[in-house]
Structure 1
Amino acid sequence: MIKQTSLDFLSNLKLNNSKEWFEQNRDLYENYRSDILQLTENLLKELSKIDQEISQANLDPKKCLTRVNRDLRFSKDKTPYKNYVLVVLNKNYPQPNKAGYFIHIEPDNCSIGGGVWQTSSEYLKKIRQEIDYSFTDFNKILTTPEFQKTFPNGLQGVGKLKRMPVGYDETNPASEFLKMKGFCTKEPLNDKLLTSKDCVKTVMEFFKTTKPIIDYINKAIEYDE
């Protein structure tokens, strides 16, 4: 679980997104960051019990968190800080294009899931090839009662092609998935869950259910022809 004060910090940061306010409240930021790090450590510990590759990756919890500072180089929005944090548990760090687990923590806009939201053209080609080759296995994961109950929004991603990618026919039974540019589960997460004693347990239930998709995607990415 995390403390309500951590969510309050993010809410206040959204309302007071300036370097002056941030420096005046740096102690609150340090407490917030420590709290999120503790949650990340707890999740890594539990996830390592069910995902051997995460266990062997020896991930540094500090590197599993997005930085609070925003990259302003190419943005019209010049507010200096992110009013959210993304916790990414990815065995291939620092290669985020591969599949991993995530929690997006932002007051009234939290979410959870896993997979690849966006990836390279090379990896996308490999994922599409695997779906085409073993669509029965892929579809079996998505149609289990547990998956459909946990992730009613199915797979999502950064976008979708209007037409089939080159080399695939519209009659392909996997056509709607082959048009996708990302393959990620993503569902809303209630703020109260994150501050409850059942936080880690419930998050792990999401992770367990999305693990087969993560394994499938990474198998496709890592396959050498």
Structure 2
Amino acid sequence: MAVPAPKARKSSTDTPPKKKARRVAPPESSASEDDEHASASGVGSSEDDEVKEVKGKAKKSKAKTVNGKKKTTGRKGAKGDKEDRPKAKGKKRKAKDESDEDEYSGKDATESEEDDYDSDASGGLNRRVVRTVKKVAGPDTKADTHVVLPTTLEFLADLAKHNDREWFQQNDARYRHAFLNFKTLITAWVPVASEADWTLPHLPAKDLMHRIYRDVRFSKDKTPYKRYLCASHSRTGRKGPFALYYLHIQPGGKSFVGCGCWSPQADVLKLIRNAILRDPKPLRKVLAEKEFVRLFGSDKPRLDGKRGGIFNADDQLKNAPKLEGVDKTHKDIDLLKCRSFAVETHFPDDVVLADDFLQTVKHAMETAAPFVQLLNEIISPSPPSDNDDSDDDDEQGSGSAEEDESE
């Protein structure tokens, strides 16, 4: 039986057979559509021109709205734009409010009040009363002088009669003039005070001056402003637990210099009373000085109960303080009953307006300096200095030398 011969393999170089292309029949209506298009070419061209013209007008109107503000007519259109526009927030809102205030502040200052109408979202009207304040011109004199000016006392006297915000706003220029005069006085007072008491540091005037606004939260008197200008100076400025010097300017002979501790905290008051129980002699010695008594008052309580020295019936206990071994028969009960350890000396207006007023204040501070320093030593005792230790060593060394010589 004959074996069939094997089939020959195709080489990789042979090209693959081509696929037969599929024949697609043309659409039957192509010729007819071309004829219709050719026949309607005249009508179509006119329609295209109209469409292009409409589109051109739309583009021009759109460019106008982008480059410029679109004007709307009618109440409905204006209302719609206002509602669609987002509300300003933060700094933008604040700037808008300030611009509104500037607009109202620029109106005629002679009018006391006027009516202004705003339309709300519902279309109604809200009535708003805008009050304008007629400003009073300030003094023509130069304010930056260390001499107290008569205009400063005049302003304080008028403030006592018209203590309300409306009057204060009208006289704002007068207040700023008086404030600058007092600030210049305090700036000149700082080095003078340091000469009177070496423990006082040199501080800027703003750290010593008190505000003119009153704290009326716990007071029956609701007047908003103080009737005086004042400043305090101590080891830590106007604040702190230490005894201080207080300068008070008020017309009508009510200006004064105060020294000491006014209504100290409970722990500070306890320290002072304990020091009196241990040894009252240092305090009594200071209070009994001749010049101290002449300026600040007697070293003993007055029979009529009025202020004299550190004693004041309105600022002391009715009975003995609750301290161990203290009753109403204690020998120092007059000192122990005090709730404040402070003294005052007053000046008439002519002394306040004098050119040498600061020297008068300096003399009062020099007289009260031992009293203030004694209180501060009780409140915060100073540490022993190195000189004290060296003195003790010298005494011990001299004693041992004498013993050696005797031997």
> Normalised by the size of structure 2, how large is the TM-score?
0.52
Larger CA deviation: 13-22 vs 155-164: 155-164
| CA RMSD, 1 decimal | 2.0
* Structure 1 residue 94, shift from structure 2 partner: 5.1
1:110 matched to 2:255? The reply is yes
The answer to whether the 8 Å contact 2:197/2:365 transfers is no
Partner of 1:149: 294
> Normalised by the size of structure 1, how large is the TM-score?
0.91
Partner of 1:78: 222
Partner of 1:2: 148
Give me the whole-angstrom Cα distance separating, in 1, the residues matched to 2:368 and 2:186: 18
Larger CA deviation: 2-11 vs 154-163: 154-163
Residue by residue over 1:49-87, the C-alpha shift from the partner in whole angstroms, topping out at 9 and shown as x without a partner, is: 2322212xx322123122111123233332221111222
Q: Which runs of 5+ in 2 are unaligned?
A: 1-146, 298-307, 383-407
Give me the whole-angstrom Cα distance separating, in 1, the residues matched to 2:247 and 2:271: 26
* Structure 1 residue 220, shift from structure 2 partner: 0.7
Greater RCO, CA 8 A, separation 6+: 1
Partner of 1:41: 187
1:119 matched to 2:275? The reply is no
Which of these residues, 318, 321, 335, is aligned with residue 162 of structure 1?
318
Partner of 2:95: none
* Structure 1 residue 13, shift from structure 2 partner: 1.0
Residue correspondences, number: 223
Give me the whole-angstrom Cα distance separating, in 1, the residues matched to 2:371 and 2:199: 14
Partner of 1:218: 376
Give me the whole-angstrom Cα distance separating, in 1, the residues matched to 2:238 and 2:296: 27
Which of these residues, 326, 332, 336, is aligned with residue 174 of structure 1?
332
- Report % sequence identity: 29
* Structure 1 residue 168, shift from structure 2 partner: 4.0
Structure number, greater radius of gyration: 2
* Structure-2 change in CA distance of 1:63 and 1:78 (3 Å): same
The answer to whether the 8 Å contact 1:115/1:217 transfers is yes
Give me the whole-angstrom Cα distance separating, in 1, the residues matched to 2:238 and 2:157: 29
* Structure 1 residue 181, shift from structure 2 partner: 0.6
Which of these residues, 5, 8, 13, is aligned with residue 159 of structure 2?
13
Where does structure 1 differ by over 4 angstroms across 4 or more consecutive aligned residues?
Answer: none
Give me the whole-angstrom Cα distance separating, in 1, the residues matched to 2:355 and 2:206: 23
The answer to whether the 8 Å contact 1:89/1:100 transfers is yes
Give me the whole-angstrom Cα distance separating, in 2, the residues matched to 1:5 and 1:28: 8
Partner of 2:275: 130
Give me the whole-angstrom Cα distance separating, in 2, the residues matched to 1:75 and 1:175: 31
The answer to whether the 8 Å contact 1:113/1:206 transfers is no
Partner of 1:32: 178
Q: Which runs of 5+ in 1 are unaligned?
A: none
Name the SS of the counterpart of 1:67 in structure 2: coil
Partner of 1:203: 361
